[in-house]
Amino acid sequence: MSVGNVSKRILLGRKLRSSQLGETLLPKRVALPVFASDALSSVAYAPDEVFIMLAVAGASAYAFSWWIGLAVAVVMLTVVASYRQTVHAYPSGGGDYEVATVNLGRNAGVTVASALLVDYVLTVAVSISSASQYVAGAFPLLIGHEVAVAVVAVVALTAMNLRGVRESGTFFAVPTYLFMLAILGMCGYGLLRLLQGDLPMAESANLQIDPAPGWEGPLSQIALTFLLARAFSSGCAALTGVEAISNGVPAFRKPKSRNAATTLLLLGLIAVTMMMSVIVLANEMSIRYVDPHELDRLRTAAGSALPAGYEQHPVIAQIAAGVFDHFPPGFYFVLTVTGVILVLAANTAFNGFPVLGSILAQDGLAPRSLGSRGDRLAYSNGIVFLAAMSIILIVVFRAETTKLIQLYIVGVFVSFTLSQLGMIRHWSAALRIEDDPVSRLRMQRSRAINTFGLGMTAVVLVVVIITKFLAGAWITILAMGGFFLVMKGISRHYALVEAELAADEADKVMPTRVHAIVLAAKLHKPTLRALAFAKATRPNVLEAIYVSVDPVATNRLLDEWDERHIDVPLKVLHSPYREVVRPVVDYAHAIRTANPRGVVAVFVPEYVVGRWWEQFLHNQTALRLKTRLLFSPGVMVISVPYQLRSSEIAREREDREARRVHAGDLRRGRVRVGSDRQIEP
């Protein structure tokens, strides 16, 4: 086994056969952490963003955080209920893209796909960046190196997902469940202490918040509405990831739709419970939290500035420190699993993005390489592309969650809104042909749910665009437009290529003549083999050509050609500027021009070597020549290989690998007892 294969085996594991695809499907207990980790992990930053936005008007505005949390919860439960209808109606995994394409047209589908692609990339960037902030807070040595930490985390996640959905899902299940236990346990214990009257205040409870410039004094009705709208739009980051389940239905075990719908319901109930509990405890513990870049707005109780180097801890960290003030292991447990889940939350995107990319590839809207499964039956190219785009965002925005969050959720609410509109049309069309009263009642109920969902998501989309456009949402909209144009361009390209390649009667016409050319650099075995093969093809004209850059070498070749009585004429192409490729290309073009209905066949002798470094020592001129000739109409390029002795090394290596017995070969019937195949060490 080669070094490359060994490295690939260690990193990704053994290859899986296509027939083993069913073994990678997920039960609900594994699907929940795989597809819901993004929405659940938003509890670690969505409440923070709500308090940051409200803090613009001072701590008194925190009184509205309850209502904002309830509004976000209502929207989330509405979206969950709507998507439960989607997974039943469209279980193929197309999700919002399929719904919009089928019911609203191709342009609407491409718009949804653009929004989802951008949102998946941002999901990875935001989650990993937030996790790097937690890690830096836990390990002060990493402060200032958040970008490096985030990049390493993305690479590690990429490697895990390249091993396959089932394996990565099993790996991620434990941390996700531990996060649920940590947050729900912390909130439950904190609410119990609240009922008992001994819930302590947060570490920031005694601080004062100066309103941001322009927000001093009593707020007008318009200013208050805008403030609440900004806080609400930031809190809606908790809804990201909900759509991933509808895109990942094919990854569920049967019955796929029912299992996906159940997982959606569990996701909604758990996420709402966790988010509201955090907001309630944050208010009861009088947490003060501002934009990390505006810490100068925080003041001590006496009104003086905070000491230099003051570190503001996230909302969950402050709650955990207060709730577990007499039990430090509880505090560290909450912080640890929160940091871990923020890294793993990106796994939702790593499962949704490749599936969507494969569907787009099948529809001719993305490169077809995105639709190919890798050794572990995962869509490897989509996983790598997502990782690369996410790393670029992390580096550009320096892993700062507050900046990245402004780009967030625009795309997902575009897809939410168009999906709900598409589902309404779907049910309306189904009702026109359905006569069964029971089925009609079910469809009418589903349409009502999607209609309510459309109203909610459309309102949120308008609010998000208005409140976040200048803060960075314009970048997301621009990126969506870029993806839209790229996908439309790819679609046009594939359509043009398909039309150009369509067979017709003219393609059956035989060429009038074949003019064969054999490249002769020297009179050695590869050249003689190429001449013999060219003769066997019985062309109308056969000749060898030699590019002369050295008169001495040319004369020597001509003499040897005559001495050996080669019955193929040798034509010498003189090259005063010592070019080798251009004279051959020009000569082939001249023959083709003289006989437009004929074919020029160029036979190129090549060496076959067994060591990787030998590739750099041979065949370079042949490679350049073939590259140039491929663009020449009517010119056919034929490689004539000649195996050097070193090529036996590669063949022997493959033979040894074929004889080696791998784990599971006996069980799969690939080898019999008593076989001479060797057991793999």
* Span 427-471, pLDDT tens digits: 999 999 888 889 899 899 989 988 988 888 888 888 888 877 777
Q: What is the pLDDT of residues 607-631, one digit of tens each?
A: 888 777 777 777 788 888 988 998 8
Distance from the Cα of residue 307 to its chain's centroid: 43
Measure the CA–CA gap between 367 and 608, rounded to whole angstroms.
32
As a whole number, mean pLDDT of residues 546-556 equals 91
Percentage with pLDDT > 70 across the chain? 87
pLDDT band for position 169 (cuts 50, 70, 90):
low
What fold does the segment set 510-644 form as a domain? Rossmann fold (3.40.50)
Is residue 274 within 8 Å of residue 40, measured between CB atoms? yes
Amino acid at 107: N
Which backbone phi and psi does 538 adopt, to 5 degrees? 55, 60
pLDDT at 543: 95
pTM of the predicted protein model = 0.70
Closest CA to 170 of 261, 34, 36: 34
Q: What share of the chain is helix, strand, coil (3-state, %, to 5)?
A: 70, 5, 25
State whether residue 572 is helix, strand or coil.
Answer: strand
Measure the CA–CA gap between 335 and 182, rounded to whole angstroms.
9
As a whole number, mean pLDDT of residues 224-230 equals 87
Is residue 537 within 8 Å of residue 516, measured between CB atoms? yes
Is residue 199 within 8 Å of residue 285, measured between CB atoms? yes
Closest CA to 585 of 606, 602, 605: 602
Is residue 413 within 8 Å of residue 460, measured between CB atoms? yes
Distances in whole angstroms, Cα of residue 592 to Cα of each of 363, 501, 517, 547:
39, 22, 12, 19
State yes or no: pLDDT of 134 exceeds 80.
Answer: no
Is residue 349 within 8 Å of residue 38, measured between CB atoms? yes
DSSP letter (8 states) at residue 510: P
State yes or no: pLDDT of 409 exceeds 50.
Answer: yes
The widest CA-to-CA distance across the chain, in whole angstroms, is 109
pLDDT at 662: 53
First to last CA, the chain: 11
State yes or no: pLDDT of 670 exceeds 80.
Answer: no
Higher pLDDT, 37 or 479: 479
pLDDT at 12: 47
Structure tokens at 625: 């020549």
Measure the CA–CA gap between 579 and 566, rounded to whole angstroms.
26
Measure the CA–CA gap between 68 and 74, rounded to whole angstroms.
10
Count how many Cα atoms sit within 13 Å of the Cα of residue 646 in the half-sphere of its side chain: 10
So where are the chain's domains? 21-303+312-406, 510-644
Is residue 371 within 8 Å of residue 379, measured between CB atoms? yes
**Count of CB atoms situated within 10 Å of the CB of 658:** 8
pLDDT at 658: 59
State yes or no: pLDDT of 167 exceeds 70.
Answer: no
As a whole number, mean pLDDT of residues 629-658 equals 80
Measure the CA–CA gap between 286 and 289, rounded to whole angstroms.
10
Measure the CA–CA gap between 381 and 209, rounded to whole angstroms.
48
**Count of CB atoms situated within 10 Å of the CB of 485:** 12
State whether residue 640 is helix, strand or coil.
Answer: strand
Backbone φ/ψ region at 197: left (φ over 0), alpha (ψ -120 to 50), beta: left
Backbone φ/ψ region at 398: left (φ over 0), alpha (ψ -120 to 50), beta: left
Mean pLDDT value across the chain: 82
Which contacts (CB < 8 Å, 24+ apart) does range 289-292 have? 289/48, 289/51, 289/52, 289/55, 289/204, 289/314, 289/315, 289/318, 290/52, 290/55, 290/209, 291/52, 291/55, 291/402, 292/402
Closest CA to 244 of 227, 267, 225: 267
Is residue 492 within 8 Å of residue 261, measured between CB atoms? no
Structure tokens at 505: 């009667």
Is residue 324 within 8 Å of residue 186, measured between CB atoms? yes
pLDDT band for position 677 (cuts 50, 70, 90):
very low
State yes or no: pLDDT of 279 exceeds 90.
Answer: yes
Structure tokens at 91: 């279980």
CATH of domain 21-303+312-406: 1.20.1740.10
State yes or no: pLDDT of 665 exceeds 70.
Answer: no
Do domains 21-303+312-406 and 510-644 share one topology? The answer is no
Measure the CA–CA gap between 256 and 260, rounded to whole angstroms.
6
DSSP string, 383-396: HHHHHHHHHHHHHH
Is residue 407 within 8 Å of residue 396, measured between CB atoms? no
Measure the CA–CA gap between 120 and 240, rounded to whole angstroms.
9
Per mean pLDDT, which range of 241-245, 274-278, 393-397, 496-500 is the poorest?
241-245
Is residue 80 within 8 Å of residue 242, measured between CB atoms? yes
pLDDT at 545: 94
Measure the CA–CA gap between 328 and 552, rounded to whole angstroms.
87
Distance from the Cα of residue 361 to its chain's centroid: 14
- Return the C-alpha torsion angle 33, 39, 41, 45, nearest 10: 180
